[in-house]
Amino acid sequence: MSAASSPFPHSLRLPPPWGRRVDRNCPVRFSFEGKTYAGFAGDTIASALIADGRYLLSRSFKYHRARGPLTLAGQDANTLVQLPEEANVLADVSPIAEGLSVMGQNYSGSLDHDRDAILGHFSRFMPVGFYYRAFFKPRGVWKYWEPFIRKKAGLGALDLSFTPTYHDKAYLFADTAVIGSGPAGLSAAIAAADAGARVLVVEQEPELGGSLHWARFGLEGKSAEEARDLITRVQRRPNIRVLTNAVCNAWFADNYLPIVSGNRLYKVRAKTCVMAAGAFEQPVIFRNNDLPGIMLASAAQRLMRLYGVRPGKRAVVLTGHDAGCLAALDLLEAGVEVAAVADMRAESPDTLPLLAALKAKNVRVFSGTTVFEALPGKDRDGNPRVVGVDLRRILGAADGLERGAVEARGETIECDTLLMSAGYMPAWQLPCQAGGKLSYHDATARFSISGLPDILTLAGSANGYFSLSNILRDGERAGRQAALRALGKAADTEIYAASAYETEAPVNFPWPIFPHPQGKEFVDFDEDLQIRDIVNAVRCGYRDIQLVKRFSTVGMGPLQGRQSALPAARLVAEASGRSVSETGVTTARPPFMPEKLAHVAGRMFSPLRESAMRRRHEEAGAQWLMAGTWRRPAYYGDPARRDALIQEEARAVRERVGLIDVSTLGGLEIRGPDAVELLDRLYTFSFAKLPVGRSRYALMLAEDGVIMDDGVCCRLGEQHFYVTATTSGVDRVWRAMTKWNAQWRLDADIANVTSAWAAVNLAGPKSREVLARAGVNIELSGSAFPYLGVQTGVVAGISARLMRVGFVGELGYEIHVPSRYGEALWDALMKAGAEFGIRPFGVETQRLLRLEKGHIIIGQDTDGMTHPAEVGMEWALGRKKPFFVGKRSVEILEAQAPQRKLVGFVLPKDAPRKALEGQLILDDTGNITGAITSLGDSVALGQTIGLAWCAPSQGKVGALLPIRCEEAPGGRLLATVAATPFYDPQNLRQEV
């Protein structure tokens, strides 16, 4: 492409075949910081900006230093930018789109003129952990500093009006999952497929192939091209499934792999897994190593090969191994002037073929030399950029000096680009989540990973191989062994003995860390930490790597220490006189890449249970109340008239007849030879003698004697019971039943049939007449169907279970029908009741009615410590039984002096304030003795009544009960303890 035909005057674009990822026929315009830029489809924000000569993308966390791309692989925080709806977007992996508006973040003013950049000049006043040393004197002053410091922290800003978009989840299964599709992953996938496994390949980038698309594997640079044949082979295999643009974000137990792709989270179960996720190239630590224009060698190669963009015009390469030399060859090939190659290795260029080759191309080669300082200058827009390097010969141990020492003088070389490569750190995060241990080899200056579970295998550079033939071989080994294991076949590792691999030169330079008296040699780019910050953290006494992390925040930044883990480990080891193996690195927690909450949250289900009569309630104007996941009518009508409506509903029940939907009540069917035995052990009463056709109150305790649940136990047959439980308690009761049934090895069948039945309670003096009018095939007289009787029959043409119960204290029938007839039953009863003035009533009304009867509600009037004697329910204990759950505890408790008591009380009609549930009961000295659990305005009594906990000494009927009430005169309301039931104490109304 000639300059004249280029649409972009400043373009650093290279002609094809450079830029295999971009489509030059498809230009895309977007804006950055308000200025319009152009790129091609396939470009990332970063590649398109660099193509235009724009390196400054972000401001650093603490000193607001100018930062440009470092890895170009989404592995550093230098490229975090702000999109309108999204903060902290990685510009080096996020594609551009037409009209996309990109901004910088974490600056005041503009990205180019960030007023906070002045902070960089004050770094000496901000030593490591400085915030622990200041901002708290004089006492209380932190309150004023904190908001200021908070504003400076953080990076991008969330879009606070963002509404979640669609995200979902899918499960996938594989015999062998291969994470990473570079040469090792491709080779592993083919070997696994050959062995007969169903393979899943997961690739983070848009296409298969990984480094085959950008790396140079030898002097000639042809081998990668040949190996790309593997891509088509993988694509053609029917038993290999490929996911691209997909990140495996963690390793969870047993190869449970969360894979984020697009707007979907795949949850993968793989029998075995090959991690071929590569290694992180490491920066060299020297002064100003963070200037825009300085990047990893691999970043420049990606830039050129994937996006067809030259990093600059004149480059220096700093390396400690062959990869930097190969990158220099790439630069030359792309027409970039290579001003110098500084090789930290001491070996002479004559013994290193790549250096010799570079020399032959007239590149100045410096051995045993490093960049001591990158020289800051300005790019064409006046933004900071590297403009040269100060090269120094490395001294060190041999010269009797500390490691990292350099000669006093060196040579300055001008450049606009600096590539660096100090070696590699295997992608350790996922293997370490799987239990892998990192150990450091002093000879090769690198970490290796061991101790993995046998369902997980490493391959390729993650396993320490960097020559292409070794990588391919290692992938093949790993893929085959993983597949054999997944298929339950014997391993044949012997064919991949160490001798089968070629020998490789070490890739890691042992000490690529060069302190400068003026600092600014960044160890952690994310957190703006320099060498002295890490060293001083150790000197302050924070010697453990975890403490160094916590004190200095190294590795805590947005990308969690990809580049800082290795140098920090080396520095801590050196400063504390230990080995790097001893020091180790901090734990790498999930997720691997930052993941949107939306991905993990998925479609956001919110469970809701509704009764079969829902439509009728809605038509009647029900106001809803949540009971667990159930929605229940609280009362019917205008919320503005809430209290009056509840009173009206209550009056209807007391005077005429009311109908309440009790479908949410738990229902449990117990059948079998041991059904009675199970119930007798689980509930406090005895059911052995309960006749068929009768019901009895059922109270369940926990082993510590605490009331757990209650209900009614109906005997439908000799070996068949129907037990109700509370709405919120039934699942807990069912669990207890099934647990104990198994534990005791009883022969009882337990089914939770809650959802199978719809149920109503028809209550009030006219209920018998309403039921008769609705049509029922059983005799309803008090003698034929007495209180606590149970019948099965037909109501309004519907098969039903009928029980005479008395929760609200009136003549009443609980009628249970199969759920699908719930609405028909409701309609029939409402129709039959019309002439008697029937009225539906809600849960709030029921609560008031039962309060008048002094019935407690488990969970409202009891708490997690309540035992029967405290609430006057000793009568419900079958003391003659040899055993029931909680019996021993109850006996111990009853032998002790009682601690508290639940009592009924009434408030005087002229009480100065209304009381509220939850208000406290106090004693004369102001100690808390209890609290109000239930409260209501009794229709029958015309008075406010309630239940409350108090000290046993306060519980005498007629005694005054002080209620804490800040608004009342003297801070107290005085209630009077009253006997319960408040209403119809002889139960004359319900037992007719």
Partner 1 sequence: MPFALLRYGLSSDPVKTPDFPPPSSLKSSYDVVIVGGGGHGVAAAYYLAKRHGVTNVAVLEKGYLGGGNTARNTAVIRSNYLTPESVKFYIASVNLFRDLSNEFDFNIMYSERGQLTLAHSDATVRAFRQRCEVNRHLGGRTEMLDRQQIKELVPLLNLDTGHAPVLAGLWHIDGATARHDAVAWGYARGAVARGAEFHPLTEALDFVVEKNRVTAVKTNRGTVKCGAVVQAVAGSSSILMSKLGIRAPIHTYPLQAMVTQPVKPFLTPMVSSSALHCYVQQTGRGEVLIGGGSDPYPLYNARSTLDLKEGLLAHAVEMFPFLANAKLMRQWAGITDMTPDYSPIMGRSPIDNYYLDAGWGTYGFKATPICGKSMAELVASGGQIPEIIAPFSLERFSRFRQINEMGATAASH
Can you point out the beta strands (E) in 203-354?
Answer: 240-243, 246-248, 256-261, 264-275, 279-281, 294-296, 314-319, 337-343
824 binds partner 1 (CB under 8 A): no
In the bound complex, what is the minimum distance in angstroms from residue 151's beta carbon to partner 1? 6
Asked if residue 282 lies in contact with residue 425, where contact means CB atoms within 8 angstroms, the answer is yes
Residues 701-720 that bind partner 1 (CB under 8 A): 704-705
Nearest to 608 by CA among 623, 626, 621, 620: 626
Residue closer to partner 1, measured from CB, 580 or 832? 580
Non-local CB neighbours of 480 within 8 Å, separated by 6+ positions: 191, 192, 194, 195, 492
Residues 75-94 that bind partner 1 (CB under 8 A): 85-88
Nearest to 848 by CA among 642, 553, 607, 546: 642
Residue closer to partner 1, measured from CB, 187 or 433? 433
Please state the length of the chain: 992
Residue closer to partner 1, measured from CB, 151 or 909? 151
- Would the CA dihedral through 787, 792, 794, 798 be positive or negative? positive
In the bound complex, what is the minimum distance in angstroms from residue 913's beta carbon to partner 1? 14
Task: Choose the stretch contacting partner 1; rule: CB under 8 A; options: 145-153, 641-649, 713-721, 801-809.
Answer: 145-153
Q: Which of 256, 744, 875, 883 binds partner 1 (CB under 8 A)?
A: 256
Task: Choose the stretch contacting partner 1; rule: CB under 8 A; options: 296-304, 392-400, 590-598, 761-769.
Answer: 590-598
Q: Which of 228, 267, 720, 881 binds partner 1 (CB under 8 A)?
A: 267
Residues 905-924 that bind partner 1 (CB under 8 A): 916-920, 922
Task: Choose the stretch contacting partner 1; rule: CB under 8 A; options: 174-182, 375-383, 591-599, 732-740.
Answer: 591-599
Number of residues that bind partner 1 (CB under 8 A): 111
The CA distance from 615 to 610, in Å, is 10
Task: Choose the stretch contacting partner 1; rule: CB under 8 A; options: 368-376, 416-424, 511-519, 551-559.
Answer: 551-559
Asked if residue 419 lies in contact with residue 326, where contact means CB atoms within 8 angstroms, the answer is no
Burial of 165 (0-12, 13-18, 19+ CB in 10 A): exposed
Would you state the structure tokens that stand for residue 198, as one six-digit string? 């169903």
- Would the CA dihedral through 104, 105, 110, 113 be positive or negative? negative
Tell me the pairing of strands 456-458 and 446-450. Answer: unpaired
Residue closer to partner 1, measured from CB, 126 or 974? 126
SS3 323: helix
Residue closer to partner 1, measured from CB, 396 or 859? 859
In the bound complex, what is the minimum distance in angstroms from residue 929's beta carbon to partner 1? 9
Concatenated DSSP letters of 373-397 = EEEEEE-TTS-EEEEEEEEEEB--G
Nearest to 593 by CA among 282, 835, 246, 271: 246
In the bound complex, what is the minimum distance in angstroms from residue 729's beta carbon to partner 1? 12
Angle in degrees, 0-180, between the axes of helices 565-576 and 531-539, rounded to the nearest 10: 40
In the bound complex, what is the minimum distance in angstroms from residue 183's beta carbon to partner 1? 30
Would you state the structure tokens that stand for residue 469, as one six-digit string? 């033939």
Give the distance from CA 703 to its chain's centroid.
35
Residues 739-758 that bind partner 1 (CB under 8 A): none
Tell me the pairing of strands 720-725 and 707-717. Answer: antiparallel
In the bound complex, what is the minimum distance in angstroms from residue 484's beta carbon to partner 1? 27
Nearest to 661 by CA among 692, 619, 606: 619
The CA distance from 828 to 797, in Å, is 9
Task: Choose the stretch contacting partner 1; rule: CB under 8 A; options: 136-144, 337-345, 772-780, 983-991.
Answer: 136-144
In the bound complex, what is the minimum distance in angstroms from residue 544's beta carbon to partner 1? 4
Residue closer to partner 1, measured from CB, 218 or 519? 519
In the bound complex, what is the minimum distance in angstroms from residue 523's beta carbon to partner 1? 17
Asked if residue 202 lies in contact with residue 255, where contact means CB atoms within 8 angstroms, the answer is no
In the bound complex, what is the minimum distance in angstroms from residue 298's beta carbon to partner 1? 24
Would you state the structure tokens that stand for residue 413, as one six-digit string? 């070389």
Q: Which of 1, 26, 136, 912 binds partner 1 (CB under 8 A)?
A: 136
602 binds partner 1 (CB under 8 A): yes
Give residue for tokens 């407690």: 856
Taking CB under 8 A as the rule, which mask of x and - marks residues 231-250 in contact with partner 1?
-------------------x
In the bound complex, what is the minimum distance in angstroms from residue 359's beta carbon to partner 1? 44
Which amino acid is located at 347 in the chain?
Answer: E
In the bound complex, what is the minimum distance in angstroms from residue 932's beta carbon to partner 1? 8
Taking CB under 8 A as the rule, which mask of x and - marks residues 182-221 in contact with partner 1?
----------------------------------------
36 binds partner 1 (CB under 8 A): no
Residues 154-173 that bind partner 1 (CB under 8 A): 154-165, 167
Q: Which of 24, 403, 543, 972 binds partner 1 (CB under 8 A)?
A: 543
Task: Choose the stretch contacting partner 1; rule: CB under 8 A; options: 411-419, 505-513, 743-751, 926-934.
Answer: 926-934
Q: Which of 221, 591, 621, 637 binds partner 1 (CB under 8 A)?
A: 591
Q: Which of 35, 539, 739, 956 binds partner 1 (CB under 8 A)?
A: 539
In the bound complex, what is the minimum distance in angstroms from residue 97's beta carbon to partner 1? 17
Taking CB under 8 A as the rule, which mask of x and - marks residues 603-642 in contact with partner 1?
-xxxxx----------------xxx-x-x-----------
Asked if residue 932 lies in contact with residue 911, where contact means CB atoms within 8 angstroms, the answer is no
In the bound complex, what is the minimum distance in angstroms from residue 280's beta carbon to partner 1? 17
The CA distance from 341 to 315, in Å, is 9
- Which of 348-355's residues contact partners 24+ apart within 8 Å by CB, and which partners? 352/322, 352/325, 353/219, 354/219, 354/322, 354/325, 354/326, 354/329, 355/325
Backbone angles phi, psi at 606, to 5 degrees: -130, 105
In the bound complex, what is the minimum distance in angstroms from residue 178's beta carbon to partner 1? 20
The CA distance from 585 to 285, in Å, is 18
544 binds partner 1 (CB under 8 A): yes
- Cα–Cα–Cα angle for 113, 296, 355, nearest 5°? 135
Q: Which of 401, 505, 756, 892 binds partner 1 (CB under 8 A)?
A: 892
In the bound complex, what is the minimum distance in angstroms from residue 149's beta carbon to partner 1? 7
In the bound complex, what is the minimum distance in angstroms from residue 910's beta carbon to partner 1? 23
Nearest to 174 by CA among 242, 102, 247, 249: 242
Would you state the structure tokens that stand for residue 383, as one six-digit string? 């933004």
Count CB neighbours of 143 within 10 A. Answer: 9
Residue closer to partner 1, measured from CB, 38 or 547? 547
677 binds partner 1 (CB under 8 A): no
Q: Which of 964, 974, 987, 991 binds partner 1 (CB under 8 A)?
A: 964
In the bound complex, what is the minimum distance in angstroms from residue 801's beta carbon to partner 1? 29
Residues 849-878 that bind partner 1 (CB under 8 A): 859-860, 863-865
Residues 108-127 that bind partner 1 (CB under 8 A): 122, 124-127
